[in-house]
Amino acid sequence: MSSAAAVPRPDTSGAGPIPNLKLSDGNEIPMLGYGLGTANFKRGNKAAFNQQIVDNTVMAIKNGYYHLDGAEAYGNEEELGAAIKAAGVARSKLFVTAKTSCRAGESVETAFARSLERLGLEYVDLYLIHNPFWAVADAAPEVYQRKWAEMEAIKASGRARSVGVSNYLVSHLEAILAAAPRHPPVVNQVEYHPYLQHDADGDAGLLDYCRRHGIAVEAYAPLAAITRAAPGPCDAVYDRLARKYGVPASDVALRWCLDQDIVTLTTSSSAERLQGVLARLPTFTLAPDEIREIADAGRLKHYRGFWTAKFAADDRR
């Protein structure tokens, strides 16, 4: 699992104009997904059923977004399950992700069984540990290894086709891989955009580490440089490339991730926007020098939108 040959690559045999990515366990993940976090995150009374989340998700599915990224922490697994049922799309066509928060004193099996019940599903396509912060900062590798052994059991049961992690840094991944697991994580879902490239000085970089170990990188908040961190040094580059390709700047931001073979999540309650993204993204790709130009501009600013309490202000890991 440590050779360059293990790096996941897009498999253009996948249905639709945006290819699938073949994971190191042989399964495939659609490279563009619809996120149930951020705009669909349930706030306030999480026990109250939210029909708007169902409607948003049904709309996304019917517009071709078959990769659905959920998590117990979002508080909307029941709504996601209802949307899957209401959309009328065959389960075999959908790629459903769930995540465990690793609550204190609770096994992964308990959390997973609860998620399946809420979703109304017999299996998920991808199950992730949502973050590494359930453990104390100086936890021994064995702590992460024991938790990962529970994930392997879920994978072995067949109720999760693939297993992975989210928000894990190199040190957390090293702890897992040091135990030579039978089923290593195949995905690491992280906040990723030009202002957070996880390439801190003096470190080989999280993306490089994942790729060398056959772990696909999945980006959430790929539009952060536009939606959360503007103005910034990427604005002019995005705008110029948007004019060149005749697309919105947000499409350039999504394409920047996809063209680096990074699975990319987006979300919206607008059918028009979601339809437009699927229609436009297949019409262009960024040249290698354009990908580098955006990356170079991004390194002039640092911004992290999530888990900020866990990192120093200048921590670029």
Q: Is 303 a catalytic residue?
A: no
Compute how many other C-beta atoms are within 10 angstroms of the C-beta atom of residue 152.
16
Place of tokens 């979300």: 267
Place of tokens 């990515």: 21
Strand 263-266 and strand 216-220: pairing?
A: parallel
Q: How far apart are CA 173 and CA 81, in angstroms?
A: 31
Q: How far apart are CA 190 and CA 209, in angstroms?
A: 13
Which residues, in sequence order, are CB contacts of 241 under 8 Å at separation 6+?
249, 252, 286, 290, 294
Q: How far apart are CA 96 and CA 23, in angstroms?
A: 15
Supply angle C-alpha 14, 19, 2, rounded to 5. 100
Residue 67 assigned to a binding site: no
Give the DSSP H/E element, type plus range, for residue 95: strand 95-100
Which residues, in sequence order, are CB contacts of 66 under 8 Å at separation 6+?
30, 89, 93, 94, 95
Strand 95-100 and strand 67-69: pairing?
A: parallel
Task: Please tell me the total number of residues recorded for the chain in this structure.
Answer: 317
The catalytically annotated residue of 65, 74, 220, 238 is 74
Please report, in range form, the residues annotated as the binding site for substrate. 130
Which active-site residues does the annotation give? 74
Please report, in range form, the residues annotated as the binding site. 130
